[in-house]
Structure 1
Amino acid sequence: MDWSKTKTIFIVTFLILNLFLTWQLVETNSANQISVITEATIQERLNQMNVTIEAELPEEELLGRHVISKKVPLTEEAAAGLAEQQSLRLTEGGEIISELLEPYPTTSEQFWTELQTFLTTYVYQGDEYRYGHFDPETGQMKLYQTFKDKTAYTFDEDPLVLWFDESQQIIGYEQSYYEFEELDGREREMLSSLKALEVLLNDQLIRANQTISSIEFGYYSFFSPQGGVQVFAPMWRVMVEDETYLVNAIEGSVQQIT
């Protein structure tokens, strides 16, 4: 073996490797700097327009996928571990219908704490559900399940509906349960919360002197289930004054829901 030639090859190889790693480092730093500059520019635009952001801007992973859910029929086994102060009935579709033997009281001062206690005590996997909407005319509160601790808004279906009486006591509920998983395929780059605001700025949906009261990341389904399966897209839900917009975190498309 010609050790001199071998040594030269090793030296050249290491030099090429070092150059490649240096180039990668420079590219990464440049990309990070561009991202920081871009986000600073978005913030500057908002400041110049006197737009107030009352909500804290969440930081989410920048890679993600669409999500699918499938309804899981609830059984007597699922109902067995729930609080006994209720009369439970299973439907043919696998839902639980509950009628409380005694109304569950709530107070305005401690409502959300009391609601969480009710969910974990009376409802199967109750800690997986999040508040969605309350209809004062019907006394019904609609809640949605979560995936990775983010709300998954189902299309035309209410996974959990609580019934309230005139004294704001819970008197029963109807529950469905879903299992979630990410779709196969490569992860896609997702918009940050600031980038979602930029989309709304560019579409002139955020105007001067307006207030952004909330911005939340979640999953939304806009189509009826096919074969019992629903597909959810990752979305930023942004409330600007009295208007609520959904910004697709992958595609950047916008839908107004109020």
Structure 2
Amino acid sequence: MDWNRTKSIFIFVFLILNIFLYWMYLNRYNEAQSVEILGEKTIEARLKDDNITYGPLPNSNDSATYITGKVHIFKNTVSDDNQQVRFTDETHAHIRVNFINPVKLRNINDDTSFTDFVHTNVKEGDSYALWKVDREERVAVFFQKKNNRMFYYNDSAVLKVQWNLDNEVTMYEQTMIDNIEEMEQQETVIPPLQIFQTLYNKGLLKSESRIKQVKLGYSTFSNLTQTQVLIPTWEVQVELSDGEIEEYFVDAIDGKIIEIQGDKQEAEEEDWGVE
């Protein structure tokens, strides 16, 4: 038996096998890439077909982490002589502040007027971001934030400002989370287009609508009395053809739709003493 010839044949066979396996790997890789690209094109095409529009999207390479915090206990009253503070619960986690002399708003048609008021007159006011202004009810709602990311509809992290017919702030109510810590492990968030795919598949994106806003924030994962865990959450605001606004919230890590409608409704209907 010619050993050198046999060895050469084995080497050649293994070389062909390696080339074949590498070719199969490339084929599968390219197929996977094609499916991924096709999937993105599919959702874009579907949105286009249904005349669902959207503007520039946030960076799809964003990362985020879970955070923890504790419900703030307001131990002392506000030192401002113009403010009368009252605790509305036994834990002192919720305060109501009335102004002896109401504070004039610069311009109620300009949202920055409410932000300026809060930064100037409210404890840790710069840690809140404006969420909604209801000019008919004369109430401005702020959500607490971390790294410019809001805590959506968290009863322990909200501020409500009330003004009168003379456009003067008469009172506000406040809750707050403190001792906020970020967990060490950073997670890559699901890109917005994939979030659109999830909402579309659930029939939540209606034709002739416009995706008005896509922002990353936090929602409550668990609420253990004084300690809370919050998860990165995509907030999607959709304007329907009749002008109505719908809000959807999706876990930015695992892509599950977060049903906070009940909490939202409760938060909006809760009696905060606003008159």
* Per-residue Cα deviation, 1:7-55 (whole angstroms, up to 9, x for no partner): xxxxxxxxxxxxxxxxxxx9xxx899987665455333322332222x4
* Whole-angstrom CA distance in 1 between matches of 2:83 and 2:173: 12
Q: Is the 8 A contact 1:74 1:177 kept in 2?
A: no
- Name the residue aligned to 2:269: none
1:227 aligns with 2:225: yes
Q: Is the 8 A contact 1:155 1:222 kept in 2?
A: no
Question: Counterparts of 1:100-179 in structure 2 under 5 Å?
Answer: 100-106=99-105, 107-109=107-109, 111-134=110-133, 139-157=138-156, 159-179=158-178
* Letter of the 2:188 counterpart: E
- Name the residue aligned to 2:208: 209
Q: Is the 8 A contact 1:74 1:90 kept in 2?
A: no
Question: Counterparts of 1:51-62 in structure 2 under 5 Å?
Answer: 51-53=52-54, 55-59=55-59, 61-62=61-62
* Letter of the 1:237 counterpart: E
Mark the CA change 1:32 to 1:71 in structure 2 (over 3 Å): closer, same or farther.
Answer: farther
- Name the residue aligned to 2:237: 239
* Whole-angstrom CA distance in 2 between matches of 1:59 and 1:37: 20
- SS of the equivalent of 2:224 reads coil
- Name the residue aligned to 1:50: 51
Q: Is the 8 A contact 2:156 2:175 kept in 1?
A: no
- SS of the equivalent of 1:196 reads helix
* Whole-angstrom CA distance in 2 between matches of 1:62 and 1:36: 20
Structure 2: which 5+ runs fail to align?
1-25, 266-275
Greater Cα radius of gyration, structure 1 or 2: 2
Of the structure 1 ranges 156-165 and 112-121, higher mean CA displacement relative to structure 2 is found in 156-165
1:87 aligns with 2:83: yes
Q: Is the 8 A contact 2:94 2:175 kept in 1?
A: yes
TM-score of the superposition, structure 2-length normalised? 0.67
Give the number of the structure with larger relative contact order, counting CA–CA contacts within 8 Å between residues 6 or more apart. Answer: 1
TM-score of the superposition, structure 1-length normalised? 0.71
Aligned-pair Cα RMSD in Å:
3.3
Mark the CA change 1:170 to 1:33 in structure 2 (over 3 Å): closer, same or farther.
Answer: farther
Question: Counterparts of 1:68-83 in structure 2 under 5 Å?
Answer: 68-76=68-76, 79-80=78-79
Q: CA deviation at 1:126?
A: 0.8
Q: CA deviation at 1:95?
A: 4.5
- SS of the equivalent of 2:151 reads strand
1:66 aligns with 2:66: yes
- SS of the equivalent of 2:198 reads helix
Q: CA deviation at 1:138?
A: 5.7
Q: CA deviation at 1:235?
A: 1.5
**Number of aligned pairs?**
223
* Whole-angstrom CA distance in 1 between matches of 2:104 and 2:34: 54
